[in-house]
Structure 1
Amino acid sequence: MITPRFECSQTAESVVIKIYCPSVRAADVEIHVDDTLLTIHINPYFLRLNFSHPLLEDDESSAQYDPSSGYMTVTLTKETKGQEFADLDLLAKLLAPRPSKEAPSIEVIGEQYEDEADELVARTNALSLEQEEILIAAENDWQLPQQVPTSDPPITTSITQSYGFLNRYSGYFKHVTHTENEINELGPDPEACLVQERRSRRWKHEDEKWDEEHYMADYADDEYIQELISWVNPRIVSDGPFAFTEEENLTLLNLPRREYLSDAHQTKNLYITLATILFAYAYEARTTQGDSTPESAWTLCSLTPAFSALDPAPYTTTSNWESELAACLYQSYRRSLAFPLFRSFSLAEACRVDVAELFSRGKRAITRCLLEIKRILDHHEVYYVYSKIWVEDFCVWVQASASDDVLKEIGEALRGLRIEKAAIGWDLEVLEAATRDAEDRESDSDDESEEEVEVARQL
């Protein structure tokens, strides 16, 4: 079956779905409405949409087909008139499967309750630990329960290790030695590399690529870097009404249909890993001023630990958001100072502000950036693999599962974070001071030379 192009809109009383299905027999259309789920089948097209609120197929509903344009317009009545259906422009969210409603149930046999109050107390006491944590979560808890990660790695008997989005993938790097994958930092055995070993190899590779002279040269001669810092990304500052382009909607339609079941700790790590991906996007956008180059795929992958070393969050054992966000930015800062052409702490700071703004603008702005990353990687003959194991899933997850409230709170936290140069680990402040001293000595030497020339002229 083919998923057709479609778009959704709404009025106070109904939801309107326009479907592009040329050269079909409108008499063969089958439309079924089940609460929030709508299925439309007209050979060879099949469309299943899951809305946020219930719909009705009543006398006011209709389906009209225009053979001249190839569009079928389906109008369905809202069960509650005037109710606002959110996110009708997020196609991946509409196409996602209906969320699972499986929940553990407990049946107590041989115990009666004298009144409703006793029953309510008993049910409250029967709450699982996770449910209780959610109920007592503090107001500033980012709407996610805190969880202290264990220090001991999970025991596994498998030689092949999983990786990628929620560790769903394996087998993509079996023949990595036969491809020109220049950003792979795990050597010939990424499929068998343990999580701890991935991070260790990544840190070692960053230290090996760190070049003091390169950093000092960019610090001393930063005229062009200042131009990059002052550049404004139009995708970040646009104040007009947001609407995905036709090309973006086509890409969204072709994304996989997946439902992601993640616990609170995994969800937090997805948000943090997303920050590192958007940092790489912000750096690439600034250094190319929005006009991607053949090197853009390399830049995006090199600056993202989850790509180059299959090393996503968490990057610290602490359990508060600010520390975890700071730890993820340390990884991004280090990579931006070790690998690409322009290596500037001030440029990294500008990228942090860009990431904060993207999070504050919510899932639509982030989805647009992810689609741009996907476009760049999909056109590369080697690095397209990172689109498959990371970016496509993030495109779907951000639309269907990410919370705009959490995204905005992360944006505020990133905006207020202060990354210390000393924490990077490469004596940046010492190198900058040495560069300034060398410039001062050179300036003094030039002044003395000019004075000597003037005296010689007078003689």
Structure 2
Amino acid sequence: MITPAFELTQDLDFLTVKIRVPYARASEFDIYFEGEDFKFYAKPYFLRLTLPGRIVEDGREKASYNTDEGTFTIQLPKEVPGQYFEGLDMLTSLLAPKKSRSAKPLVEEMAASAELSEENEEEFDWEMEQIPYEESPPPLQHPYGFGNLRSGVFQRLQDELSDVIDIKDPDQTPAEERRRRRLAAEAAKFEPDHYLADFFEDEAIKHLLKYKPWWIDAHKKMTALQGESHQEHDSPAFVVFSEEEREQMRKFTNKSFLLDKRSRRHVYLGLIDILLAYCYEIRVNEGDKNVESSWNIRKLSAALCWLESFSSIHDVLVSFGRRVLCYPLYRHFELVTRAFSDTVMILQLGKAAVLKCLLDIHKIFMESDPAYILNDLFITDYCIWIQKVKSKKLAALCESLQKTTLSKSHVGLELEELEAAAVLVQEEEKALKAAGTVSKQQLLCSESETSDSEESSSTSSSETEGSDSDEQESSTSEDGEINSFQGTLQEERTAPLIDCNGLRQGTAALAMEVGAGKSKVSLQSTTPPGKLIEELEMQIQSAMRLSEQPEGLATAGCISQEQEENPLPEPDRFSEDAAEKGDFLEVSPKPNPLLFLCSTNEDED
């Protein structure tokens, strides 16, 4: 038999059941209802519901069939007009028979006794005093999963599931050791540079904070209409399930959960942890799912990733805050606080809103191959369990969550110290930059002043150069004549008078007046007398060596050379005055220079 798609609505007097049965024979159907039971049959469809309130057959019931849509619409009168039927959206619980039980559990629970125990259960104290846990001898395998009801799963599938969770060998790792390893892994993963980058460059963060998921509008509507109705309800008008979500609920198998007080506490705290991770994922992706959605949810939830069993709401918030600042792309504390406020809104909307979020998580994990096991361990059981939770229990959980606070100092990653140090560095950089700007401006001012002074000095120097050039031209013209005259006299003075045998004839000191006797140029012998005598001796010795040659050749060569150069004047004798001074005025070559040189040498001796 096929369970058809169905939908329940209500008003003050009637409960309306809409059943979609395409390709069914409208002439062959059966309807039965009495009290809380409702049954419908139209081959091949069969539907049995356990209603949250009583209905009655009094002639006001109606049924109609739409052939185009293939739907039956059945109106059933309420036994108590005006009574509100709670949980009409909880389709899984409605499908369960009135006396159902889970499939062969270790301890069987009858539905009637379960309802009785739920009604008589005392209010859960969320702020109760913590008692130190005394660990009993550990069992062979440590439990985990929803309500810590599973064990041995990862031992059998360790290779396939190693990418789903971060804890290695969870079956042999106790809860305290899991927590210790988780805290160490988070401390090692935290990157101050990444956190400070998101803290100062927060344009993308501000954009994400402006996003409004669906529960914000629903919460506003609920708040606006909160004082208009005094009936207890879980906001069915503000949370609407899609047909796909209804189909998900129809596929779940109804079952009951035997949870003690401690296990129920773990379930409630784990629910907060999962919702926080889901709210972060929805906000950072702005409602669009992607390939990273599954990773984000399970990585940010320590209950899913480390199989953590929390002991308080504050522990849940601290764990979520640390993981947001260590793992995802956007690591900003404002995202932690915004996910916190989003979770509060969802809990305030009631279990219908919580179920809608859990169904979305279930779908995300089903589409991710390694994460499907988390549905079997946690999400499927949460989807079934939340439909049976009393609304007042959820309201108490929400109230306790609102009273809990989380600050940066609670996270334990020294966020405030990092921010203060970064702000100091930023202020120093600004001060250095400002000082550099001032010095640059001063440098530009000094350069402009220097350029102005250079321009003025260049102007004055150009004028000075102009006057100097005029004076230099006049002095150059005068000095040119003197220098040219000096050069002529210097050549005459320094030119050695050499006879044909290489003897230096001598130089004389000259003095003359230039330009009407005003300028004088004195030409004196640059060679001291002692050196002149030595030079003469050397030349005499070289001449004596030449005399050893054939006389005719030497004499003829000397005479011919002298005759070609200058005709020789008549020989003069030494001046007595010059002889006393030791200077030679002039030495005239002789027709026979060898005899003259020899006689000169004898006189000197």
TM bucket, shorter chain: 0.7 to 0.9
Which residue type is aligned with residue 306 of structure 1? Answer: A
- Corresponding residue to 2:166 among 166, 174, 185: 185
Structure 2 vs 1, CA of residues 104 and 277 (structure 1 numbering), >3 Å: closer, same or farther? closer
Shift of 1:6: 0.1
| Aligned CA distance change for structure 1 residues 48 and 263 (closer, same or farther; 3 Å) | farther
Letter in 2 for 1:448: A
* Letter aligned with residue 24 of structure 2: V
One-letter code aligned to 1:456? L
Matched, 1:275 2:257: no
Q: Does the aligned pair in 1 maintain the 2:164–2:370 contact within 8 Å?
A: no
Superposed, which structure 2 residues align to 1:324-363 within 5 Å? 324-363=312-351
Task: Tell me which residue corresponds to 1:287.
Answer: 284
- Cα contact 2:52–2:88 (8 A) shared by 1: no
Structure 1 CA distance, aligned partners of 2:119 and 2:115? 11
Deviation at 1:174, TM superposition (A): 3.9
Which of the residues 253, 256, 267 maps onto 2:250? 253
Query: How far has the Cα of 1:204 moved from its partner?
Result: 2.3
> Cα gap change, 1:443/1:297 in structure 2, threshold over 3 Å: closer, same or farther?
same
- Identify the residue that residue 305 of structure 1 maps to in structure 2: 302
**Structure-2 separation of matches of 1:147 and 1:131:** 25
Q: How far apart, in 1, do the equivalents of 2:315 and 2:304 lie?
A: 17
Q: Which one of the candidate residues 439, 447, 457 is aligned to 1:452?
A: 439
Change (3 A) 1:273 1:83: same
The normalised TM-score by structure 1 is 0.81
Within-5 A mapping of 1:90-129: 90-98=90-98, 100-102=111-113
Matched, 1:153 2:135: yes
Match of 2:423 in 1: 436
Aligned position for 1:262? 259
User: Is 1:400 aligned to 2:388, yes or no?
Assistant: yes
Q: 1:132 to 1:282 in 2, by over 3 A?
A: closer
Residues 370-389 of structure 1: CA distance to partner in whole angstroms, max 9, x if unpaired?
22222222111111221232
Distance between the aligned counterparts of 1:282 and 1:427, measured in 2? 25
CA distance in 1 between counterparts of 2:120 and 2:163 reads: 48
Q: By how many angstroms is 1:333 displaced? A: 0.6
Q: What is the aligned partner in structure 1 of residue 76 from structure 2?
A: 76
* Alignment partner, residue 120 of structure 1: none
- CA-to-aligned-CA distance 1:186-245 (integer Å, 9 cap, x gap): 12x233333233222222221221222222222232222222233332332334542222
Q: 1:290-312, CA deviations, whole angstroms, 9 ceiling, x for partnerless residues?
A: 22221111010000111101113
Task: Tell me the amino acid that sits aligned with residue 38 of structure 2.
Answer: L
What is the aligned partner in structure 1 of residue 190 from structure 2?
Answer: 210
- TM-superposition CA deviations, 1:10-57 (whole Å, max 9, x none): 344432212112233456545444532323344433322222222234
Structure 1 counterpart of 2:362: 374
Aligned residues: 418
Q: Which amino acid aligns with 1:5?
A: A
Contact preservation (8 Å) 2:34, 2:57: no
Name the aligned partner's letter for residue 256 of structure 2. Answer: E
Gaps (5+ residues) in structure 2? 100-110, 222-236, 447-605
Q: Deviations over 1:66-116 (max 9, x none)?
A: 5543223334332223322223233234234547222899xxxxxxxxxxx
How far apart are residue 393 of structure 1 and its match? 1.9
State the distance in 1 between where 2:34 and 2:61 align: 14
Question: For 1:422, which of 409, 434, 439 is the aligned residue?
Answer: 409
Q: Which has the higher contact order (CA 8 A, sep 6+)?
A: 1
Aligned to 2:37: 37
**Residues 1:229 and 2:209 are matched in the alignment:** yes
C-alpha distance 360-447 of structure 1, shift in aligned 2 (>3 A):
same
The letter of the residue matching 1:49 is: L
Q: Is the 8 A contact 2:322 2:411 kept in 1?
A: yes
Letter of the 2:181 counterpart: R
TM-score, normalization: structure 2? Answer: 0.63
Task: Give the structure 1 partner of residue 462 of structure 2.
Answer: none
Which segment drifts farther, 40-49 or 355-364? 40-49
Cα separation, 1, equivalents of 2:241 and 2:136: 42
Deviation at 1:458, TM superposition (A): 1.0
Q: Tell me which moved more, 389-398 or 150-159.
A: 150-159
The answer (yes or no) to whether the contact 1:337–1:345 under 8 Å persists in 2 is yes
Please give the secondary structure, in 2, of the residue aligned with 1:199: helix
1:400 partner SS:
coil
Quick one: distance in 2 between partners of 1:438 and 1:183? 41
Contact 2:148 2:263 in 1 (8 A): no
The answer to whether the Cα contact below 8 Å between 1:359 and 1:408 also exists between their aligned partners in 2 is: yes
Q: What secondary structure does 2:144 align onto? A: coil
- Give the alignment's Cα RMSD to 1 decimal: 3.1
Change (3 A) 1:175 1:449: farther
Does the 8 Å contact 1:133/1:145 carry over to 2? no
- For 2:7, what is the secondary structure of its paired residue? strand
Q: CA deviation at 1:445?
A: 1.6
Q: Which amino acid aligns with 1:383?
A: A
Which one has a bigger Cα radius of gyration?
2
Q: What residue ranges of structure 1 are gaps of 5+ in the alignment?
A: 106-127, 315-323
2:9 corresponds to: 9
Instruction: Report the Cα distance in structure 2 between the residues aligned to 1:370 and 1:29, rounded to whole angstroms.
Output: 35
Bigger share in helix: 2
Q: The residue matched to 1:48 in structure 2 has which SS?
A: strand
Query: Is the alpha carbon distance of 1:273 and 1:13 closer, same or farther for their aligned partners in structure 2, counting shifts above 3 Å?
Result: same
Instruction: Letter of the 1:389 partner, please give it.
Output: L
Distance 1:440 1:11, change over 3 A: closer
Change (3 A) 1:181 1:28: farther
